[in-house]
A = this chain, B = another copy of it.
């Protein structure tokens, strides 16, 4: 065999005592689909080992075939995002900032861009507190069509001003495949929100660019589905994907949303892509944000996406979960200290290098 020893294969457990004519029929059908099949003789029953291009077989209902007791896929489907060996992590550059390189990267700003002056003040504030990138929504996906939908093009202009004034790269959300070109003029990192994790037209469009993409996990998406959504971008040729856990739906959790921090070590094991955490949407209420932000660092995330607003209670979107600029400023040093511990102190130097002007190094 010259194929990789860990190539996925398929084992079919035949029913006990299955007649050989049935076994023959199953074997023929599998081979007609382009695979190589060998028969294994067991006690009381036989098995078929299937090799070759087995990917198309994943969508067939093999377990419903007459004579099949069970089908067992061994090894995962090939993915661009898979970790090929244990030492590899990819890095995604957003302007001067690199995610996945050991540094802990903080993206902060309001949920939605509102007035220009307020936005610029917030950008300056989070920059001086240690944020590495500035976030702000121009086009907002809102559950209700009657809710504030974002300032749109005007917000993009404001965000450009914020970049000029602070030097921070801009993170903003894209919702429509027809907007890629326009948005890319302003955004350094394009966010795909939870509602669009399954919007394959949008993902494919982004896959045809080389723009850095921040992909948020869907409201009730599994790790596997999340990785396969990333695959829509990666398989198009764009390697610049950052994953973001933001809380999933759960009946027992407060406000029915739970931040699934356990997915961070899982994603770190399964993919080489950088993984960050949004503790704001995952908190639903701002008093929980600092604790969950610290937990996100401790669990091994590569960065944070956090909402900051100077009058959270009056924010036009998701104010309930935003930190005040002062709360954010107090939080950053603690995050850095924890990151130093969990990264074994080896990233101290980079920490110093990437700290924003005025940030408090430790």
Contact = CB atoms under 8 A, between A and B. Distances in A.
Interface string A20-47: 0000000001000000101011111101
A251 B254 contact: no
B38 A40 contact: no
A252 B320 CA distance: 21
Contacts of A11: 11, 13, 42, 47, 72
Given A254-B263, A319-B61, A1 B201 contact: no
Interface stretch (A117-125, A337-345, A346-354): A337-345
Size category, A interface: 35 or more
Contacts of A252: 218-222, 248-249, 260
B260 A313 contact: no
A95 interface: no
Interface string A46-83: 01010100011011111111000110101001100000
Contact of A61 (B224, B295, B313): B313
Given A143-B225, A200-B141, A265 B250 contact: no
Given A43-B38, A144-B228, A248 B254 contact: no
Contact of A235 (B51, B72, B145, B249): B145
State the oligomeric state as a number of copies. 4
Contacts of A56: 148
Contacts of A261: 259, 261, 291-292, 295
A87 B296 CA distance: 27
Nearest to A48: B42
A6 to B, nearest CB: 6
A285 to B, nearest CB: 8
Given A287-B265, A295-B298, A313-B62, A253 B260 contact: yes
25 contacts: A6-B16, A40-B47, A42-B49, A56-B148, A59-B147, A59-B148, A60-B315, A77-B144, A142-B200, A143-B228, A146-B231, A177-B177, A177-B201, A248-B258, A249-B250, A249-B252, A250-B253, A251-B251, A254-B263, A258-B258, A258-B262, A262-B282, A265-B287, A269-B287, A294-B299
Interface of A: 1, 5-6, 9, 11, 13, 16-17, 29, 36, 38, 40-45, 47, 49, 51, 55-56, 58-65, 69-70, 72, 74, 77-78, 141-148, 175-178, 195-196, 198-201, 204, 218-225, 228-229, 231-232, 235, 248-254, 256, 258-266, 269, 282-284, 286-288, 291-292, 294-300, 312-317, 319-320, 334, 337-338, 341-342
